[in-house]
Amino acid sequence: MKKIYVVVTMDVEPLTGDTHPTATGPETWEQSEKFIRGYAEQAGKYGYPVSYFIHPEVAVAQAALFEELNQEGHCVDCLHLHPWKFRDGKYKAHFGELSENDMRAALGESIAMWQSGFGRRPLYFRPGTFSANDMMYKVLVDMGFRGGSCSMPGRVWPRMKAIWTGAEPDPHRPHASFRLAVGDLEFGNMPNSADFSSWAVAKGSNFQMVEGETHSHDNNTVACHRDLRPDWRDNDYHAVANNIVEQLIERNPSIPVLTENTHNDNDHADPEDRVSKNFRTMLKEITDACKSRGIEPVGATMADICDMVLAEPVKMPPFVYT
């Protein structure tokens, strides 16, 4: 393996005052802009562009900021959606529990709002909390998306309807009927990177670790593999980065990617911010993990990875009888 693509991402959430006090997101637009710029600046020290998945309300409020970031080489053509956070609160649901009709309606309304901010339509998608069902990819293709980062292999979070046990770990075209599998849809999906040698179980989204557990046994816990997200409270980024790179070398995918995600709710301009410190450690560790093995880490965007997936021939495995 000569190179690994590094795709830094952020889910850009609307203000918590408009959604829920315990939801992810910033308190003010000024904070949001500071966090977004700080994140790009840290990633930029390693030459990695950022791919921003943007909630519709943010596209309206901060389009000028993202157009500027777009000019600097970041990828901003991505829609992020938590249906329950959207507009008037009509959808009391996480993305994976929407009916097909509501999925089409919520996406249509979101695309329209996003488009009213940017003057063009989003091309890539990520559901909030990686919440998804088997209709998602087909609906996304129908609605004009060419790709996305829609899966977190290994995540088991029943309450959020985010179950990804056994999901394909590397960039691929998804299956039209079964979200975990490789298929032939005209859509480039980039899964979140995972260290498959590890498990962690936490209470909800604030990462309060449950010691000694290896699986999610009730609705209030989330189980997942360790990964590169900077939000962890107790992650060994050196070990996780090296494990993920070793596993990539072993799987040897045609498009090797290291990717992670976070939200616009931590101050990446503050050297003392807990999550920003983790982010800087993670960037160094993934870079070192590649270079120490003679592998070049190459900054890439969601759009770059999607282009690579769609340029490849369809790799849907043939039917096997038993």
CA 124 – CA 136 distance, rounded (Å): 13
Closest approach of Zn ion to the CB of residue 54, in Å? 10
Q: Which CB sits closer to Zn ion, 14 or 183? A: 14
Q: Is 11 a residue that touches Zn ion (CB under 5 A)?
A: yes
Of 11 and 285, which CB lies nearer to Zn ion in the complex structure?
Answer: 11
Q: What is the per-residue DSSP string for 152-207?
A: -TT-EEGGGTEE-TT---SSBPBPSS-TTSB---S-EE-PPP-EEEEEEEEEGGGT
Q: What is the 3-state secondary structure of 65-102?
A: HHHHHHHCCCEEEEEEECHHHCCCCCCCCCHHHCCHHH
Q: Which of 123-131, 139-147, 239-247, 288-296 is the region at the interface with Zn ion (rule: CB under 5 A)?
A: 123-131
| Contact between 201 and 213 (Cβ < 8 Å) | yes
Q: Who contacts 123 (Cβ-Cβ below 8 Å, separation ≥6)?
A: 77, 78, 144, 145, 146, 147, 303, 306
> Between residues 11 and 168, which has the closer beta carbon with respect to Zn ion?
11
Shortest distance in whole angstroms from residue 149 CB to Zn ion: 12
The CA-CA-CA angle for residues 120, 134, 93, to 5°, reads 70
227 lies in the site for Zn ion, by CB under 5 A: no
Q: Of 4-12, 31-39, 152-160, 203-211, which part binds Zn ion (CB under 5 A)? A: 4-12
- Tell me how far, at minimum, the Cβ of 229 lies from Zn ion, in Å: 12
**322, 265, 226, 247: which is closest to 32 by C-alpha?**
265
Nearest to residue 74, comparing CAs of 66, 64, 82?
66
In the complex with Zn ion, the residue whose CB is nearer, 91 or 198, is: 91
Span of 126-134, 208-216, 249-257, 289-297 interacting with Zn ion by CB under 5 A: 126-134
Instruction: Give yes or no for a contact between 3 and 298, defined as CB atoms under 8 angstroms apart.
Output: yes
Total site size for Zn ion, rule CB under 5 A: 2
What single-letter DSSP state applies at residue 233? S
Asked if 96 touches Zn ion (CB under 5 A), the answer is no
Residues 45-84 that bind Zn ion (CB under 5 A): none
Tell me how long the chain is. Answer: 322
Q: Is 52:69 a contact under the CB 8 Å cutoff?
A: yes
- Stretch near Zn ion under the rule CB under 5 A, chosen from 9-17, 43-51, 100-108, 274-282: 9-17
- The smaller minimum CB distance to Zn ion, of residues 94 and 173, is found at 94
Among 49, 117, 128, 174, binds Zn ion (CB under 5 A): 128
Which among 128-136, 177-185, 268-276, 306-314 is the span making contact with Zn ion, rule CB under 5 A? 128-136
Task: Tell the smallest beta-carbon distance from residue 264 to Zn ion (Å).
Answer: 9
Shorter beta-carbon distance to Zn ion: residue 149 or 243: 149
**The two structure tokens encoding residue 295:** 């592998």
User: Which spans of this chain sit near Zn ion (rule: CB under 5 A)?
Assistant: 11, 128
